[in-house]
Amino acid sequence: MTPAEFLRQPPAQGPTHALTEPQWEALAADPELPLLALWGEPGVVRAAFQDGNALRLVALAAPEGQYPALSPARPAAALFERAVHDLWALEPVGTQDGRPWLDHGRWPVLNPLSGRPVRHGGAPPQPEFLPAEGHALHRLPLGPILPGIGEPAYLHLAVAGEAVVRMEARLGYAHKGVLALMPGKSPRAAARFPARLQAEATVAHSLAFALAAEKATGTEPPPRAVVLRAVMAEIERLSVHLHIWAQVLALAGPPALADQAALARETMLAASQIAFGHRLLMDRVLPGGVALDLEERGLSILRDALLLLAEDLPRLARATLRHAGLVEALTGLGVIPPALAQDYTAGGPVARASGVMVDARLGPDASPYDELELEIPLHPEGDAAARLRQRIAETAESRRLLAVMLDSLPDGPIITPLPQRGGEGVALVEGPHGPCMAWLALDDGGLIRAAMARDPAWALWPLAEAAAAGAGLEQLPLLLAGFGLTMSGMDL
């Protein structure tokens, strides 16, 4: 029996397979199942693998603080292994990269979540970067304060003339200690933390957290709340796609088109403010349901906004895709082959623009999408032009889905209480940039014992680094804009 076949069998208890070290070693050597996330607890390492649109969870006891590394077979594990060592002092034996990730040497303690943190000693070490080979290379540091980006990141470029040979990102500057803030709180009280993990996916992370809490407690949210959550998720998706669309146009298209895309986004955000009381819909999704109902005035405003977009978006899409200068600038830029997208378990528009059909709206947590005949396009070219076309097509699909859901919104309550009981739950939700995962373990009193949140940026940053190789320095801002990169979601 292969490791994948074993993991497809029901676990003995809860959603997680407790593995022996030989079983973990066999899994580590077999890359059939792509890695979605890797995290820890004191003396335990955990991992989530993506099996189509389903999740497979495993755990390995590591009482000596060591475990066999997954990165030799799965490149996506490398950054997770570095973060797990920084936070939980769990050492990946045989790792491809043992450098720190989140810890820049300025925390007051080492390994803060390990259960045995010790005080930091000495001066912060100088960062190490991977070597680059080529003739007459020079190093170009950018950041951590970057123009046009609200979040901090350090980009280390190896450049030959005007061509980028290697780009390496160093994040961690926005580390918030989210995983340390949630334990000891009820899921309702802790819901504000995943909502603030990443501003462009506040609904997606909140929804993944809520679904994980509901699975851990055996709670069914009301049908009206299920549809309202999906309405919020599609408003978020549509708004983010329009934001990236406007950014790309601002860099390489006519300013008038960039303004139209930004105005379309503002139309949706203003309607969201009236309908749900928050432009970005923060703190509106809660474990058990939603925080407030959609009243008749809000419903009318959302419908009016969708009617405006139904008129404006097709014209804007045609003008964008017919602009010769923009299409020329994007075509062939930053190609991501399908195999590379799969190696890093990428999802969202970036993976679908490389022909990889994966979308969490088709998975186990699909309601109400399983009744909506979801139409997800694919653009297999894998370049920056395909990524823009993918977002344009998905913007139109989100607008269509919103109109359908608003016309079929069921009546009834919007929230139900969570029982105070122990359990474990995991959920995967399709955010604007890809799959957002949440895992929760609750103690017998219904309080959070441990938690994990996975943002799509864990996959997107390595892909952006790969795509940057060979691009010109002047092309780099345009290339990165199309990925929808964020820092905060990875910095935890």
d(CA 359, CA 351): 9
pLDDT in tens for each of the 492 residues of the chain? 788 888 888 888 889 999 999 999 998 888 889 999 999 999 999 999 998 878 999 999 999 999 999 999 999 999 999 999 999 999 999 998 889 999 998 888 989 998 888 888 777 888 888 777 777 788 888 888 877 657 888 999 999 988 999 999 999 998 999 999 999 999 999 999 999 999 999 999 999 999 999 999 999 999 999 999 999 999 999 999 999 999 999 999 899 999 999 999 999 999 999 999 999 999 999 999 999 999 999 999 999 999 999 999 999 999 999 999 999 999 999 999 999 999 999 999 999 999 999 999 998 888 899 889 898 889 999 999 999 999 999 999 999 999 999 999 999 999 999 999 999 999 999 999 999 999 999 999 999 999 999 999 999 999 999 999 999 999 999 999 999 888 888 898
Closest CA to 381 of 344, 336, 321, 340: 336
Residue 404 lies in a domain: yes
DSSP-assigned states of every residue in 19-56: E-HHHHHHHHH-TTSPEEEEEEETTEEEEEEEETTEEE
Residue 178 lies in a domain: no
**Domain encompassing residue 85:** 3-117
DSSP β-ladder status, 54-61 and 16-19: parallel
Closest CA to 336 of 395, 390, 377, 394: 390
DSSP-assigned states of every residue in 228-283: HHHHHHHHHHHHHHHHHHHHHHHHHS-HHHHHHHHHHHHHHHHHHHHHHS-SS-TT
Distance of CA 38 to the CA centre of its chain: 14
Based on the domain organization, do 323 and 413 belong to the same domain?
yes
Residue 128 lies in a domain: no
Q: How many domains does the chain have?
A: 3
d(CA 489, CA 492): 6
Q: Specify whether the CB–CB gap between 69 and 92 falls below 8 A.
A: yes
Based on the domain organization, do 148 and 292 belong to the same domain?
no
For the chain, the first-to-last Cα distance in angstroms comes to 36
Residue 340 lies in a domain: yes
- The CATH number for 13's domain is 3.30.460.80
The model carries a pTM of 0.95
Based on the domain organization, do 144 and 265 belong to the same domain?
no
The helix-helix angle for 457-468 and 77-88 (nearest 10°) equals 130
Closest CA to 398 of 260, 235, 206: 235
Per DSSP, the three-state class of 389 is: helix
pLDDT (0 to 100) of residue 54: 84
DSSP state of 452: E
- The CATH number for 429's domain is 1.10.645.10
d(CA 273, CA 291): 14
Based on the domain organization, do 341 and 402 belong to the same domain?
yes
Amino acid identity for residue 295 in this structure: E
pLDDT (0 to 100) of residue 149: 57
Query: How distant, in Å, are the alpha carbons of 59, 332, 418, 424 from that of 217?
Result: 21, 49, 7, 8
Based on the domain organization, do 292 and 343 belong to the same domain?
yes
Largest CA distance in the chain: 68
pLDDT (0 to 100) of residue 133: 75
Based on the domain organization, do 109 and 232 belong to the same domain?
no
Q: Specify whether the CB–CB gap between 318 and 389 falls below 8 A.
A: no
Who's near 32: CB < 8 A, 6+ residues apart? 2, 3, 4
Amino acid identity for residue 234 in this structure: E
Closest CA to 247 of 234, 265, 231, 221: 265
Residue with tokens 């309550």: 413
Based on the domain organization, do 141 and 78 belong to the same domain?
no
- Strand order across the 137-142 sheet: 137-142, 154-160, 163-170
Per DSSP, the three-state class of 178 is: helix
d(CA 58, CA 69): 14
Based on the domain organization, do 66 and 205 belong to the same domain?
no
Based on the domain organization, do 239 and 157 belong to the same domain?
no
